Amino acid sequence: MKVLVTGGAGYIGSHTTLCLLQEGHEVVVLDNLVNSDPESLERVQRLTGREVDVRVGDLLDEHTVDAVLGEGGFDSVIHFAGLKAVGESVEMPLRYYRNNVVGTLNLLAGMEKHGVRTLVFSSSATVYGANDNVPLNEKCELDATNPYGRTKEQIEDILSDLGAADPRWRIALLRYFNPVGAHESGLIGEDPQGTPNNLLPFVAQVAVGRRPVVKVFGNDYPTPDGTGIRDYIHVMDLAAGHLAALAYLGSAKGVFRWNLGTGRGSSVLEVIAAFSEAAGSAIPYEFAPRRPGDAAISYADPSSALGDLGWSAERNLAQMCADHWRWQKANPHGYKIPDPT
């Protein structure tokens, strides 16, 4: 298959691109590099011995999207491109709605025009909001609590309407839980810009000495150790979920929703302990107030993905931390070479 991967230079996109190439697919990446470094795809090429056709361009530029899709031959699109920082989305809602929603509309217009009607979309468990009626299944009510999450909900609505209007579309809405870890080579991984918003990259930067201490947001939640519980999923398992979804869409039309999670929850303290074990030294932490908007507990019911796609996550928290640490240790400043001054 020839697959257009939007946002393919980013964290999840680069790992999925690697898996697509390994499965023999042809990949064209469209990314404006707003939150990524093209070095990720250089390394994917090195790991696979195959070429990635990278186009630096913005989904907000409809002519670019039209030109890429107009080259022809595409069988499907995996749509990762988007902005994803919750706090920033609260401060700059218009930027988020424009980038994520308008960017998606431009992509869909290009796909429609050029007759490409198979799409895998990166949605998020954030669409379930602060619902902690776990395990969360795909029928749970959606109630995102911030502009970022609402862009995902709105795009899901747009795609559902599109599928209802035109039965030729094949659309997978993949609701990721908490992606972490890295390819086992340690060559590619998550490279957040600025202060990491998410737990694992923050813990990893403390472990590598870039930050002094992990702040644990809340220790008075109704959970066994009082800290928040999440469903962490290895990025390579997540990448495999995209290939499984693409394969499913090959023989099914319509709009499908699948949670991609492990079905198991880990607390913040369990994550810090597992990462300390992987890194071979205790990671310092201190308790801090709760972060506004956080659910106490969130984990997936991943049984639909197992039933429909034959997919389930294989890697446990220890492997996630070991792989994340291998990447962080070998690349303490991510893809950037630090300024020696």
Q: Residues in the site for ligand UFG, rule: CB under 6 A?
A: 84, 86, 124-126, 148, 176-178, 197-199, 202, 215-217, 228, 230, 268, 291, 294
Span 142-171, contacts to ligand NAD by CB under 6 A: none
- Report yes or no: 131 and 141 within 8 Å, Cβ to Cβ: yes
- Sorted by sequence, the CB contacts under 8 Å of residue 94 that are 6+ apart come out as none
Is 232 tagged catalytic? no
CA 331 to each of CA 35, 126, 132, 185, 189: distance values in angstroms, whole numbers, following the listed order: 17, 29, 36, 12, 9
Residue 276 tokens read as: 């300390």
The length of the chain in residues reads: 341
Of residues 74, 80, 256, 311, which one binds ligand NAD by CB under 6 A?
80
12 binds ligand NAD (CB under 6 A): yes
10 binds ligand NAD (CB under 6 A): yes
299 binds ligand NAD (CB under 6 A): no
201 binds ligand NAD (CB under 6 A): no
How far, in Å, CA of 33 to CA of 38, rounded?
7
User: Nearest distance from residue 15's CB to ligand NAD, in Å?
Assistant: 8
SS3 for 97?
helix
Of residues 3, 4, 9, 199, which one binds ligand NAD by CB under 6 A?
9
b/e per residue 281-311 (b: at least 16 CB within 10 A) = eebebeeeeeeeeebbbbbbbbebbeeebeb
Question: Among 96, 148, 176, 221, which one carries the catalytic annotation?
Answer: 148
Residue 94 burial class via C-beta count within 10 angstroms: exposed 0-12, middle 13-18, buried 19 and up: exposed
**Size of interface with ligand NAD, in residues (CB under 6 A):** 28
User: Nearest distance from residue 149's CB to ligand UFG, in Å?
Assistant: 6
How far, in Å, CA of 78 to CA of 163, rounded?
16
Q: Which of 282, 246, 327 is nearest to 19 (CA)?
A: 246
User: Nearest distance from residue 50's CB to ligand UFG, in Å?
Assistant: 29
Selected range binding ligand NAD among 74-82, 86-94, 165-173, 248-256, rule: CB under 6 A: 74-82
Of residues 17, 36, 266, 298, which one binds ligand NAD by CB under 6 A?
36
Span 43-62, contacts to ligand NAD by CB under 6 A: 58-60
Residue 303 tokens read as: 């049984």
Q: Which residue has its beta carbon closest to ligand UFG?
A: 228
291 binds, among ligand NAD, ligand UFG, none (CB under 5 to 8 A by kind): ligand UFG
The sheet with strand 254-260 has its strands ordered as: 53-56, 26-31, 2-6, 76-79, 118-124, 170-176, 254-260
Selected range binding ligand NAD among 81-89, 263-271, 308-316, 320-328, rule: CB under 6 A: 81-89
Of residues 84, 183, 315, 324, which one binds ligand NAD by CB under 6 A?
84
Closest CB to ligand NAD among 54 and 274?
A: 54
- With vertex at residue 232, the alpha carbon angle to CA 226 and CA 235, rounded to the nearest 5 degrees, is 160
Find the distance separating the first CA and the last CA of the chain, reported in whole Å: 47
Catalytic residue positions? 148
Residues in contact with ligand NAD by the rule CB under 6 A: 6-7, 9-13, 31-36, 58-60, 80-84, 99, 103, 122, 124, 176, 179, 198
